[in-house]
A and B are shown apart, each in its own frame.
Chain A
Amino acid sequence: EVQLLESGGGLVQPGGSLRLSCAASGFTFSSYALSWVRQAPGKALEWISAISSSGDSTYYADSVKGRFTISRDNSKNTLYLQMNSLRAEDTAVYYCAKDRPKLWCFDYWGQGTLVTVSS
């Protein structure tokens, strides 16, 4: 059974940093691209970043480019999102999602972790 478990969310002040983690199990982690998708309270889903299976290629939405960094450790079956220069508008539930093979759509999602940016 595929499982994705996010952690690392919490309350952070504007301008601060946070690192999210997503621990994966139930599939061959190193064979699949992964993404982060966020959802602001009461709002729609927003894709923010993806990383290839090897970690060599990364992709970002304009809204986070230059502030967020996606990475992965295939030896630990873990996906990361380093978030710097956080803003109030980054407040959201952050989901990690497993990409379908060679496609940017998602067959499995984690439960999400809430990030609140507020003073």
Chain B
Amino acid sequence: DIVMTQSPDSLAVSLGERATINCKSSQSVLYSSNNKNYLAWYQQKPGQPPKSLIYWASTRESGVPDRFSGSGSGTDFTLTISSLQAEDVAVYYCQQYYSTPSFGPGTKVDIK
């Protein structure tokens, strides 16, 4: 099974500043036959279900603001919120879908 880890556990960022979340998989999620990373990001606000933000490591879901971006390849990935807004307060999860799905432990983002 692929184990996902995230860092930091939580972070507080000033409004308008950049937030960076890291995600690491215990083995590569890059599928060589199509050169795609099987990695997704979700946002979960308090009391709500998760919402899809990004898949294929860097493809934004339709309607997701462009301040959200994903990067990385192989085993190391990053979710960046370029200019934090109040509505971005949430827990963010990465998930691999290279094999049976597994999620990271989550990173809580707050306003400083």
A-B pair number, CB within 8 angstroms: 55
Report B-chain residues with C-beta under 8 Å of the C-beta of A59.
Answer: 100
Whether a CB of chain A sits under 8 angstroms from the CB of B74 is no
Of chain A, the residue at the smallest CB distance from B104 is A44
Whether a CB of chain A sits under 8 angstroms from the CB of B61 is yes
Q: Which of chain B's residues 22-55 have a Cβ closer than 8 Å to chain A?
A: 38, 40, 42, 44, 48-52, 55
Distance between Cα atoms of A44 and B44 in the complex (Å): 10
Whether a CB of chain B sits under 8 angstroms from the CB of A11 is no
Whether a CB of chain B sits under 8 angstroms from the CB of A111 is yes
Whether a CB of chain A sits under 8 angstroms from the CB of B69 is no
Partner of A35, one of B42, B51, B61, B101: B101
Assess the A110–B97 pair: CB atoms within 8 A.
no
Assess the B102–A47 pair: CB atoms within 8 A.
yes
Interface of A is mostly: strand
- Interface size class for chain A? 20 to 34
Of chain B, the residue at the smallest CB distance from A62 is B1
Whether a CB of chain B sits under 8 angstroms from the CB of A27 is no
Residue-wise, chain B 61-88 has the 8 Å CB interface mask toward A (1 for contact) of 1000000000000000000000000000
Distance between Cα atoms of A105 and B54 in the complex (Å): 10
Tell me whether A105 and B101 are in contact in the complex, defined as CB-CB below 8 angstroms, given that A95-B50, A112-B49 are known contacts: yes
Assess the A109–B51 pair: CB atoms within 8 A.
yes
Of chain B, the residue at the smallest CB distance from A103 is B97
Instruction: For the complex formed, measure the closest distance between the CB of A22 and the CB atoms of chain B, giving whole angstroms.
Output: 12
Assess the B40–A105 pair: CB atoms within 8 A.
yes
Assess the B106–A109 pair: CB atoms within 8 A.
no
Whether a CB of chain B sits under 8 angstroms from the CB of A88 is no
Instruction: For the complex formed, measure the closest distance between the CB of A28 and the CB atoms of chain B, giving whole angstroms.
Output: 18
Query: Taking beta carbons and an 8 Å cutoff, which residues of B are in contact with A?
Result: 38, 40, 42, 44, 48-52, 55, 61, 93, 95, 97, 100-106
